[in-house]
Amino acid sequence: MKTEQHELYEYARKRIKQKKRVYFHFVVLFLASLFLFVSTKVFHFNEDASWHIWLITAWLFLFILHFIKVFITDRFMNKNWEREQIDRLVALQEKKIEELKNHINEEPPTNNKD
């Protein structure tokens, strides 16, 4: 397998693993929320407190962050984005170095006579 093909395969495998974890996270969140709701409302477990709502809300917030990371952030900021940014910064640095070299070569030598 060529290096490029291997990189594409590894990237695809990583993305599938990330998506699989998000789906698993969603299923666990759903089942745990259902269990907390049923245990509180149906079985009247600690019914006077609303701790289950706070727990579900906090967990939902964490799930939303996980979802954003996998489906939004990682989709746009992938290996290609990293390569483009690195190439752009390297080109910018090379341009500055070239400008400095040209500036040094253009300056006339100074005579220091005291």
pTM of the predicted protein model: 0.64
pLDDT in tens, 55-74: 999 999 999 999 999 988 88
Domain parsing of the chain, residue ranges: 3-76
42 or 27: which leads in pLDDT: 27
CA distances from residue 18 to 40, 61, 63, 68, 79 in whole angstroms, order as listed = 33, 18, 13, 12, 15
Q: Tokens 């690195």 appear where? A: 86
32 or 109: which leads in pLDDT: 32
Cβ 40 vs Cβ 53: under 8 Å:
no
Q: How confident is the model at residue 40 (pLDDT cuts 50, 70, 90)?
A: confident
Q: What is the pLDDT of residue 79?
A: 75
Instruction: Determine whether 52 is exposed, middle or buried from the number of CB atoms within 10 Å of its CB (0-12, 13-18, 19+).
Output: buried
Q: What is the pLDDT of residue 111?
A: 66
Q: What is the pLDDT of residue 21?
A: 96
Cβ 19 vs Cβ 68: under 8 Å:
no
